[in-house]
Amino acid sequence: MHQKRVVLADASSQVENRLIREWVADNTPAGTEIIRLAPSRRRKARRSTEPQIEERAGRGDNPFFLPVRVVWSPSARSGDRRVSWWDVLKLGDPRDPDVLRQRVILARWPDRVAVVSGEGATAEQLLADRATSSSPMFITRRAWRALDRAERALRGDRYKVPKFLHEEMATSPEFLAGAKRYGAERGLSPHTAEARARHYLREIAASHSPFVIDLVANVIHWMIKQGYGAVLYDRQRVAELNAIGRELPLVFLPAHRSNLDRLSLQFLKWENDLPPNHTAGGINMNFFPVGPLVRRTGVFFIHRSFKGNDLYRFVLKSYIDYLIENRFPLEWYMEGGRSRSGKLLPPKYGLLSYVVDSWKSEKSEDVMLVPVSIVYDQIQDLGSYTDEAQGGSKEGESFSWALKMIGSLRRRYGDIHIRFGEPVSVAKTMSVVDKGDDANNLAKLGLEVMHRVAAVTPITPAAVVSIGLLQNKGQARSLSELLAVCRSVVDLIAELKLPTTEKLILENEAAVGRVLRLLAEHGNVSSHAGPEHLFYLNPNQALRAGYYRGLVAHHFLPRAILEMALEDQVGKLSETRLWRRVGELRDLLKFEFFFPEKDEFRNAIALDLDSIDPEWRESKPKALLKMLDPKTAPWAIRPFLQSYLVVADELATGPGALRNESAFLKACLSRGESYRLRGLIEADGVSTIIFRQALGLAQNRELLGEDAIAGRQALAAEVRRALRVE
């Protein structure tokens, strides 16, 4: 005897209902029953049929319930059925046509219509699972989700988005109980607390629209092509991450360098038919029309500070829990803002702590953190960064700001390079950390991600040429002189096996000349066509070149610190003095760079020494220094220490507490310019961006309060010793 079948018809119109009935007649046994679900689309007039479904399931004959839906597709373009801007002119999403357009499509383009069935279940299975849920529409939502999976098999994974997040979260007993509990702490009635929690959820949550996802992908492609040649990445690596994401939730954590970071990664995922990320954005970006648009592509908006508002924090954590539990990919920028120096910034751990809490509460057996490095041959934000480095203020986000950013792309900037580091397992990392020390454990997790971002950051031609220009203390170089410097840097990169872009080929004057022309197009280098063609940097351009240097300086830290430690040696090499000096320099620069653990960093230097001279312990420091050509410390470390000297000397001018950071930084700019004019420091050392990092070190050493003059003078002496200046 055949098991009875009940089709759950997800139909938004009589046209769809008729198509489903025809499909049932052709594809199921005679006698199959049909119950119309509350429609998943066009739900304003939705009527729940859950009681009818439950009544049918409870009759005792254990029928098999099969969800069925009609799928409407756009016209095929280049073999792909996706939305284009032509569809906007046709007044609507071709995947969700109104009744009139449904009839037209069915008559003229029947290839755009399909009926799909989702994974079914017996009545016994449904009722058993229903007993574990308090949702009043459990079976309906289960059918919707099964049909979404079937529809994605037809459309692609780029449209895997949470369609029913608000309904599922806002009716969850756990969510409602938490809202009442935290609302009561703020003196809110249960009704008001629930309403406030739902308001916060609407304010925070992304609301993906497949229609907008496609349209914005077209816009992103157009924008990128305005200024960049291609987005380059390893497709095999992307496929591997996708395979992991099918089993575990992924959290993408890119370094933040440009306003194009999120758009580039979004387009990569769309181009590879991958689920879009849920990307954290500051509430300051939620302005019309940008905010509503990007919310529909996956951005969720949060306040930068919500101290004291535990109800808001609870809603945000619940939202993260939902995404982790349902394996929707997340994305945010741990540094909190774009790096104005090219270097990685100290990470912030707020959202990371929520992800760890989700794992601890068993929302998922593990969460994989994906380090991402996005590097540009040239970066279109550079002008604003150097303005800020010279004391200018950051331009606020607005519609006019967005238009200006798009307009700046109408020039050549090269390619965009996206690299993925080895994912960090939250479960594995947290299983070997100190129990009960949550802050330190989070820091270890976040720093491991940043180390892996740094490890895969590729060195670009612009970075190498910028290093060559910066090495000459502001003096001009000929093309042949620049070529010699660039070749030596490229040889060192190969020796150290450092990552590079696909186009790091600077083997002749023509290749270096091409990079110089691209830099010159954006005002990043100057030239003089006298008896010989010379290239040089003015003070503003030195800051710009310093940005490209900052992108890659971390790769050379072990070598650069080794050079400085050897310079400090007198007479015969002393291992004890060498490692002590390495530790002192590491400690001095710990707010500027992400260093490995002390033993790991020391081992890296020892391996470098072994490769240079296996008998280095018996060698003289000067002989070892000669083997370390080309020198890296003059451009990888010294400019940062020169900025530290400015800050240390300014602090040492008086014993009073630092009360006005803005005024202090202005004074540092003035002092730094004086030092530059006297030849004490280079132009790229006069930067408020690096001054702030130096202040971080001073604060860590408790030198910003009253009566800290002795410590401030000691810091100034320490920096002078490192720079070997009086």
pLDDT at residue 439, rounded to an integer: 80
Taking residues 541-559, report their average pLDDT: 96
| DSSP string for 536-556 | E--HHHHHHHHHHHHHHGGGG
Give DSSP secondary structure letters for 195-212.
HHHHHHHHHH-----HHH
Confidence of residue 416 (pLDDT cuts 50, 70, 90): very high
The radius of gyration computed from the CA coordinates of the chain, to the nearest angstrom, equals 30
Residue 684's identity, in one-letter code, is D
Chain center to CA of 638: 29
Residue 85's pLDDT is 65
Asked whether residue 1 carries a pLDDT value surpassing 80, the answer given is no
Q: Which residues are within 8 A (CB) of 464 and not within 5 positions of it... i.e. 6 or more apart?
A: 486, 489, 490, 493, 504, 506, 515
* Residue 499: pLDDT over 60: yes
Reported as a pLDDT band with limits 50, 70 and 90, residue 251 is very high
Q: Chain-wide mean pLDDT for the chain? A: 91
Residue boundaries of the structural domains of the chain: 5-156, 209-452, 461-551, 555-630, 634-723
Percent residues over pLDDT 90 in the chain: 70
Q: What is the pLDDT of residues 465-491, one digit of tens each?
A: 999 999 887 789 999 999 999 999 999
- pLDDT band at 156, cuts 50/70/90? confident
Average the pLDDT over 441-453 and give the result.
93
The single-letter DSSP state of residue 257 is: -
Span 312-333, mean pLDDT?
96
pLDDT over threshold 60, residue 422? yes
What is the three-state SS of 45-82?
CCCCCHHHHHHHHCCCCCCEEEEEEEEECCCCECCECC
What's the confidence (pLDDT) of residue 438?
Answer: 76
In whole angstroms, give the CA distance from residue 457 to residue 254. 11
Q: Which CATH architecture has domain 461-551?
A: Orthogonal Bundle (1.10)
Question: Which has more pLDDT, 93 or 165?
Answer: 165
Q: Are strands 250-254 and 424-425 parallel, antiparallel or unpaired?
A: unpaired
Report how far residue 104's alpha carbon sits from residue 110's, in angstroms, rounded to the nearest whole number: 9
With b meaning 16 or more CB within 10 Å and e meaning fewer, what string describes 526-539? beeeeeeebbbbeb
> Regarding predicted confidence, which is higher, 266 or 507?
266
Structure tokens at 40: 């998943």
Of the pLDDT bands very low, low, confident and very high (cuts 50, 70, 90), residue 520 is very high
Distance CA(390)–CA(425), nearest Å, equals 40
* Percent of the chain predicted with pLDDT > 70: 97
Least confident of 42-56, 145-159, 537-551, 611-625: 42-56
Segment 241-255 mean pLDDT = 97
* Element holding 21 (H helix, E strand): helix 14-27
Considering 25-34, 225-234, 364-373, the range whose residues carry the highest mean pLDDT is 364-373
Terminal CA-to-CA distance of the chain, rounded, Å?
A: 98
Q: Tens digits of per-residue pLDDT, 341-355?
A: 999 998 999 999 999
What residues have CB less than 8 Å from 13, skipping those under 6 apart? Answer: 42, 99, 102
More confident residue, 609 or 290: 609
More confident residue, 504 or 179: 179
pLDDT given at position 266: 95
Instruction: Name which of 95-104, 280-289, 572-581, 626-635 the model is least confident about.
Output: 280-289
Amino acid at position 80, single letter: D
Decide if pLDDT at 66 tops 90.
yes
What is the band of 449 on the pLDDT scale with cuts at 50, 70, 90? very high
Q: Could you give the maximum distance between any two Cα atoms of the chain, in Å?
A: 99
pLDDT of 283? 84
pLDDT at 397: 67
- For residue 703, what pLDDT band results from cuts at 50, 70 and 90? very high
pLDDT at 45 over 60: no
Averaged pLDDT for residues 236-262: 96
Q: What is the pLDDT of residue 44?
A: 61
pLDDT of residue 43: 66
* pLDDT tens digits along 99-145: 999 999 999 999 999 999 999 999 999 999 888 777 778 899 999 99
| pLDDT for res 74 | 87
Give the per-residue pLDDT at 685: 93
Express each pLDDT in 654-690 by its tens digit. Answer: 777 888 999 999 999 999 999 999 999 999 999 999 9
Q: Which stretch of 91-95, 519-523, 576-580 has the lowest confidence by average pLDDT?
A: 91-95
Average pLDDT over residues 534-550: 95
Assigned superfamily of 209-452: Glycerol-3-phosphate (1)-acyltransferase (3.40.1130.10)
pLDDT in tens, 261-298: 999 999 999 999 999 999 999 888 788 778 888 999 99
Q: Which two tokens stand for residue 306?
A: 């919500």
Provide mean pLDDT across the span 552-570: 94
User: Does residue 398 register a pLDDT over 80?
Assistant: no
